[in-house]
Amino acid sequence: MKKLFFLLLLFITMSSFGQAFVANYDESKLPAYTLPDPLLFNNGKTVRNKADWEKRRIELLTLFENEVYGKTPAGKVELSAVVISQNNDLLNGTATRREVQLKLKNKEAEVVLNLLIYLPKSTQRVPLFLGYNFNGNHTVTADPEIAVTHAWVRNNPAQGITSNRSNESLRGSDASSWPVIEIISRGYGVATLYYGEVDPDFDDGFRNGVHALYPGKRDSTSWGSIAGWAWGLSRVMDWLQKEKSIDAQKIIVLGHSRLGKAALWAGINDPRFAMVVSNESGCGGAALSKRIYGETVERINSSFPHWFCMNFRKYNNKEENLPVDQHELLALIAPRPLYVCSAEEDRWSDPKGEFLSCVGASPVYRLLGKEGFPATEFPGLEQPVTGTIGYHIRPGKHDIKPYDWKCFMNFADGFFKK
C-alpha cells in the first residue's frame, strides 16, 4: 500500500510539474497585464526631468537588485594581467591578436580569466566589442595557438566532452558566432572570454568562480550567476580602459541568450560601457515577464536556480506581483545606445516581448533628450528599427549570426563613427 501511495504521489507531482511548464505561444491566451510606468516614483509621483530620473533610477535599480538579480558585494579585488601569447601579423597584416591572462584576487581566493583580443591595426584608438563566449576561446576561431580552456564545461558526449573538460576537437566550432574578419574590416576590435571561467554554469552553492572571492553568509538578495557574469565583464573593463590601442570611451558590451542577460546587467551597473547589445536574451533579459509567453519566471528559476537571487522565486507563477518589468531594465541603460534583437523561430525568448520592452523603455530616453525607439508596430524580418534604441528580428533560430553582427556594427557606426 505504501508503495502504491508513493507511486501515486510521484505521478501527481510529475503531472503537476509538467503542466506548470507548458509554454504559451498563443497571443490570444496572454493574461491581462499592466506594465509599471518607469516614469512614476514608487510613491506615485511623476518623474518630470533628468534630476528626477536620477532618483527614480536608483529606485528601479534597487528593486532589480533586491527582487531579480541580487546585490553585488562592495569592495575591490586585486587585478593583475600578463600577456600569454601575441601575434602582430594576422589577416594579411591588418590585425593583431593577444591572449591576456587576468587574475582577480581577494585575500586567499583567486579567479583566473583568459581574454582573447583581436584588434585592427590602426594609428587611432579603436572601438571594441566585449562579450562572453559559451565554450572557450579556442572555439571562437580555428587558430591553433589559442589555448584550450581548463575550466569546467558542460558535458556533451557528442562532442567528446564527458568529464566537464573541453578539448581540441572543439577548436573553431563556434566561429560563425564570432565573424572576426568582418569585425576587423569594419574598424572594430573584439574581445571575448569563456563565461565559465568567471562562474561555472551549474548550481554549485556559489562556492566557485567569482562568488568565492566574497565568501560569507548569503540571503535572499545575494547575487546569482547573472550578476556574477556581469561583474566579471566590469573587471575586464578595468583592464581594457588602460589599453592605449583601445578607445575606452567606445567599448560595447554584448551577449547572446543568458549572456545577453549578463550584458544588460553589466551595462546598467557600469556606465563605462558606451553601448549595450542584447541578442535573444529572453526571460530575465529583454523580454517582458508579465506577458507569460515562452519561458516564464518559474521555468527559468526551476531550470537555473543559480542565475538569480532567491527573492525572484517569489514570482514563480505570480508575475503579476513583480514590482518591475524588463522595459524598466532597458530604461536603466538610458541615455546610452541600446540594441536588442530576436529570431523568428526563437519563440522561447519571446521576440514580441523583447520588442515591447524597447517600446516601453523609450519614454525614459525621450525624457533625457534622446530619440528613444521610433516604432510601435512590430517590424518585418530583417527590417531594423533604429533610434537610440535599435531592434531587429531575423529568420532562424536561437543563435547569434553574421547578420546580427552586421546590424550591431551598423548601429554602432551611427554613434561612434560620425
Catalytic residue ranges = 257, 398
Q: Is 246 helix (H, G, I), strand (E, B) or coil?
A: strand
Helices 50-64, 351-367: axis angle to 10 degrees equals 150
Partner residues linked to 105 by β-bridges: 78, 110
Please state, as a whole number, how many other Cβ atoms lie within 10 Å of the Cβ of residue 249.
11
Residue 268, Cβ density class (10 Å: 0-12 exposed, 13-18 middle, ≥19 buried): buried
Residue 239 burial (10 A CB sphere; 0-12, 13-18, 19+): middle
C-alpha cell at 182: 568582418
For the four alpha carbons of 319, 323, 329 and 335, in that order, the dihedral sign comes to positive
| Residues in contact with 221: Cβ distance below 8 Å, sequence separation at least 6, in sequence order | 65, 66, 70, 71, 309, 310, 311
The CA distance from 260 to 239, in Å, is 21
Q: How far apart are CA 187 and CA 108, in angstroms?
A: 41
Annotate 211-233 with b (16+ C-beta within 10 A) or e (fewer).
Answer: bbbbeeebeebbbbbbbbbbbbb
Question: Which residue matches cell numbers 534630476?
Answer: 51
**275-279 sheet: strands from edge to edge:** 78-90, 95-106, 109-120, 189-194, 126-133, 246-256, 275-279, 338-343, 389-394, 385-386
Beta bridge partners of 129: 190, 252
Helix (H, G, I), strand (E, B) or coil at 349: helix
